[in-house]
Amino acid sequence: VLKPFDSGYAEFHPKYNYLFNSYYDSVGPRHQRPKRGLLSRPALEDIHAYRRHVENATEALIGGADEAAWVEIRPFMEVANNHEQQHQELMLSDIKHVFSCNPLLPAYKVKKPAAVCVAVDDEVKAAQTSWIEFPEGLIDIGYDFDASLDFAYDNEGPRHKVWQDGFRIASHPVSNAEYLEFIVDGGYRRPEFWLSDGWAACQSNGWQGPMYWQRDGEVEHDAASWRVMTLSGLRALNLAEPVCDVSCFEADAFAKWAGKRLPREAEWERLAEGCRITGNFADCGMYHPVSANVCSAQVDEAVQVYGDVWEWTRSAYAPYPGYRAAAGAMGEYNGKFMSGQMVLRGGSAVTPGGHIRPTYRNFFYPDDRWQFSGIRLAEDA
């Protein structure tokens, strides 16, 4: 934003453009990603000074821009602000991963656990899944850039028509209790439920449960023997909470075991358009999924559509009909990643609340499992 629109902008440090360039080829060379974790400098005070330098220059740019200049600057600023929100979430996800690798299992921020059941059958049964049916038909999905001036990423549109066969989708995301049944039934030992690449990932990585589940004892069917690593440290497994931090391969295997499937992203969006955007987001300060009976109440039949966990879909991350990537670095933001990844929807417990929309498309590789990802089931009607 600053270099193209402020001819007088002075770089804070000549090497920082190289050091902090994440993946933009059009911007120039960058520090190799596998070596980034070895960096111990610049120090925190230098980063803070760099941040102040950029913020001061940005405020001066905005304050001095006339109406014509602001029309050009605004799209870049909107992307920058939303990009920062994404990194707020990614930083929390990374902190949980790093802390989980520490034998002391430290807490990022101690939070009082939500007042929900841990293993009380009556309360778990109270949140049992029902099925919401949608008839077949031609529907519109995607963001309509012509009808709204609000921000959305380019990969969310253009709005287009999709034929949709009739389907049913679960009212709740899959709970820890339901996922534990899959584990106890040998889900991680039975290749018939897994895609070939998924079974290979399961075997090579030694998966036995969701990424942050730990077992104290040898009895896997005993919920009391399981613990889960959270941003508040290691906690007892809460059976009523949505299962979290599973890969798309695990989600697909669970769905096959349950006799269901993952929803297509168009099906998920059809459900979400009828739901209020409310739920357990980062703003709530929980930083972990909560059970349906303590999350922000929704008047819709479906619950926890937004927040708590990103929900895997069976849809590959691909461009919509009519999609055109922007020129220059802006075009590298989404388009070049449309290969080999799967779409997730809905946001998580560490997503900023104002960041999410029914059309928002997140994407990760199918073996990724650290990003607060969960499961909602679907089936053909």
HEC string of 142-189? CCCCCCCCCCCCHHHCCCEEEEECCEEEECCCCEHHHHHHHHHCCCCC
List, for residues 37-93, the tens digit of each pLDDT value: 888 999 999 999 999 999 999 999 999 999 999 999 999 999 999 999 999 999 999
Q: What residues does 373 pair with on adjacent strands?
A: 310
3-class secondary structure, 302: coil
pLDDT of residue 294: 56
Sign of the CA dihedral 242, 87, 141, 148?
Answer: positive
Q: Are 223 and 240 in contact (CB under 8 A)?
A: no
Res 366 pLDDT > 90: yes
Q: Are 350 and 89 in contact (CB under 8 A)?
A: yes
pLDDT confidence band for 27 (50 / 70 / 90): confident
Q: Which two tokens stand for residue 363?
A: 């994407």
> Can you tell me the mean pLDDT for 182-205?
98
Q: Which of 299, 288, 340 is nearest to 111 (CA)?
A: 288
pLDDT score of 255 more than 50: yes
Strands 342-345, 310-316: pairing is antiparallel
pLDDT of residue 124: 44
Q: Which residues are CB-neighbours of 257 under 8 A, at least 6 positions away? A: 182, 185, 187, 190, 193
Tokens 């430290």 -> residue: 106
Distance CA 68, CA 58 (A): 17
Q: Tell me what pLDDT residue 112 has.
A: 58
Judged against a pLDDT cut of 80, whether residue 211 lies above it is answered with: yes
* Peptide bond preceding 158 in cis form (omega within 30 of 0): yes
Tokens 């927040």: give the residue: 307
Handedness of CA 291, 347, 339, 158 (dihedral sign): positive
* CB-side neighbour CA atoms (13 Å) of 227: 13
Burial 66-87 (b: 16+ CB within 10 A, else e): eeeeeeebeeebebeebeebee
Give which of 88, 97, 85, 92 is closest to 109, Cα–Cα: 92
Interval 280-335: pLDDT, tens: 999 999 999 999 865 544 444 799 999 999 999 999 999 999 999 887 778 888 88
Burial of 225 (0-12, 13-18, 19+ CB in 10 A): middle
Token pair 């209020």 in the structure block, residue: 276
Residues of the chain with CATH 3.90.1580.10: 121-380
Q: Check residues 147 and 222 and name the one with the higher pLDDT.
A: 147
Q: Which of 169, 95, 166, 101 is nearest to 129 (CA)?
A: 169
Residues 50 and 13: beta-carbon distance below 8 Å: yes
Model confidence at 121: pLDDT above 50: no
Q: 185 pLDDT exceeds 70?
A: yes
Q: Where are the beta strands (DSSP E) in the chain?
A: 131-134, 137-141, 160-164, 167-170, 213-215, 226-230, 233-236, 310-316, 342-345, 362-364, 373-374, 378-380
Give the CATH fold of the 121-380 domain: paralog of FGE (formylglycine-generating enzyme) (3.90.1580)
**pLDDT exceeds cutoff 80 at 118:** no
Q: How high does pLDDT run on average in the chain?
A: 91
In the chain, the percentage of residues whose pLDDT exceeds 70 is 93
Least confident of 81-95, 97-111, 232-246, 284-298: 284-298
- The reported pLDDT for the residue numbered 41 is 94
Confidence category of residue 219, pLDDT binned at 50, 70, 90: low
- CA angle 10-58-325, nearest 5°? 100
pLDDT above 80: residue 113: no
